[in-house]
Amino acid sequence: KLAVDAASESVAAGGSALDGIEVGIRLIESLGSDGSVGLAGRPNAAGYPQLDACIMAGPTRGAGSVGGMEGIVHPITAARRVMDSSKHVMLVGEGARWFALEHGLESVDVSDLDAKKAAWVEREQDPAEPLEKGHDTITLWMLDGNGDLFGGCSTSGAGGKLPGRVGDSPILGAGLFVDNEVGAAGATGVGENVMRYSATTVIVEMMRQGMHPQEACEAMVHRIAAVDPLGYQLDVCFIAIDKQGRTGAAASNQRFPFAVGLGGRSEVRSVEAVERP
Ligand code: ASP
């Protein structure tokens, strides 16, 4: 809700919808209030955050993304720079950090990371050492007055992930997909379960065939659960919006909140886990 409100205020003040996406997500990256977004998010197995983010602009078919990036305060801005100022769509790891620094993005000192990596190698030899668990992502879209769609997402990814692991969030068609003709979809949950099914691309395609966003999100959970060895224990959550501004959300195995804003007002809604039919 904080991000939705900040994005709406930015647009009301004259910013573009794309600026709104960046402003809203930057707020959550700064606050660390989600616990899984930005540098205050969840550390990897070596004890420090590696960040994933992406942004998509419907009308231009533009996209930018960063994966496994260290020490950059605003991954969503790095993703936007990749979209606006490079020939590429995705940069990862050291190259993503270098690109962000070259573009003057705010950063923190990462000179202690080698020591953390070394400590992790030692710790890995102790099977009793627990990994931090948990995960979450912020995904934000805007449908502007022209009927154009924009979206972005940002996360520190799954807590305790291996260094170098990239989740679904920066993968277009997995963690986020925007199709300006149809709608947009986003995912949270265990990224490996989302990536293996190109979930947000499929949700958008379901909407293209005429499904309401709610129906498409639920259908995607059932479709994955029907074939995946984990069934409904998958831990995947989807949100979607179509060109008419209709929204939907569905999850397996858990509840999750999302916020919807319209005309300067916003509200938080809750999704119950869908049941096996
Ligand atoms: N999907 C994210 C990841 O696996 C985490 C989450 O959204 O809960 O990195």
Q: How far is CA 43 from CA 20, 128, 153, in A?
A: 28, 18, 18
Q: 13 C-alpha to center of ligand 1: Å?
A: 32
Q: In which region does residue 12 sit, left (phi positive, over 0), alpha (psi from -120 to 50) or beta (all else)?
A: alpha
Q: Ligand 1 pocket by C-beta < 6 Å: which residues? A: 135-137, 155, 157-158, 167-169, 188-191
Give pLDDT tens digits for 60-96.
999 999 999 999 999 999 999 999 999 999 999 999 9
Which of ligand 1's atoms lies nearest the C-alpha of 165? Answer: 9
Sequence-separated (6 or more) residues with CB below 8 Å from residue 172: 54, 56, 63, 65, 89
Both tokens of 117, joined, read: 């990596």
Which of ligand 1's atoms lies nearest the C-alpha of 189? Answer: 8
Both tokens of 104, joined, read: 């003057």
Give pLDDT tens digits for 139-151.
999 999 999 999 9
Does the predicted TM-score (pTM) go above 0.85?
Answer: yes
Region 158-165 average pLDDT: 90
Give pLDDT tens digits for 180-239.
999 999 999 999 999 999 999 999 999 999 999 999 999 999 999 999 998 998 889 999
Interatomic CA distance for residues 246 and 244, integer angstroms: 6
Query: Of these residues, 77, 137, 139, 200, which one is catalytic?
Result: 137
Both tokens of 55, joined, read: 């942004």
Q: 166 C-alpha to center of ligand 1: Å?
A: 10
Element (H, E) at 247: strand 247-251
Give pLDDT tens digits for 5-59.
999 999 999 999 999 999 999 999 999 877 899 999 999 988 899 999 999 999 9
Give pLDDT tens digits for 96-148.
999 999 999 999 999 888 888 888 777 766 555 544 467 889 999 999 999 99
- Residue 60 bears catalytic tag: no
Ligand 1, atom 9: nearest CA belongs to which residue?
Answer: 157
Q: 158 C-alpha to center of ligand 1: Å?
A: 5
